[in-house]
Amino acid sequence: MHLFSSITNKSNYMYTVMFKGLITNNVAEKVLDLFDEMKIEPDQFTLSTLFNACAVLNNNRAMKTGKKLLAEMPENYRNHNVISTSAIDMLMKFGDVESAETIFRSINAKDIITYGAMVKGN
């Protein structure tokens, strides 16, 4: 974390790698702390990883953050399978089946992973 903190011009790639490392090391709460400090808009990869962190945490802060990210997600990301599947997984973990189904129905080209996120549920 110290090395990451010392970097002045952080990219989405750097944030995504750091977020994935924090999730892997069971400190997903730090993902949300770091996200709060982000000075750039998350790209599709960062957004998907943030949804994953929120799903792992599944607490009030994660629900608030995840749903806010989903509401503010750029329109061009809405039919992107990786992002949509991460959002579905997060919403299912939150117990928000209705919102997850809405996203699922909006995806034009569903894949096996997307179906899995809906079937797996929480």
Tell me the pLDDT tens digit for each residue of 89-110. 999 999 999 999 999 999 888 8
Q: State CA 33 to chain mean position distance.
A: 14
Q: Band of the pLDDT at 1, cuts 50, 70, 90?
A: low
Q: What is the pLDDT of residue 54?
A: 98
pLDDT (mean) for 18-24: 97
Q: How many angstroms separate the CA atoms of 2 and 6, rounded?
A: 6
Q: What is the pLDDT of residue 8?
A: 83
- Inform me whether the pLDDT recorded for 3 exceeds 90: no
Q: What is the pLDDT of residue 42?
A: 95
Could you tell me the pTM of the whole model? 0.91
Residue 24 structure tokens: 């892997």
Q: What is the pLDDT of residue 70?
A: 96
Percent of the chain with pLDDT over 90: 73
Q: How many angstroms separate the CA atoms of 56 and 50, rounded?
A: 10
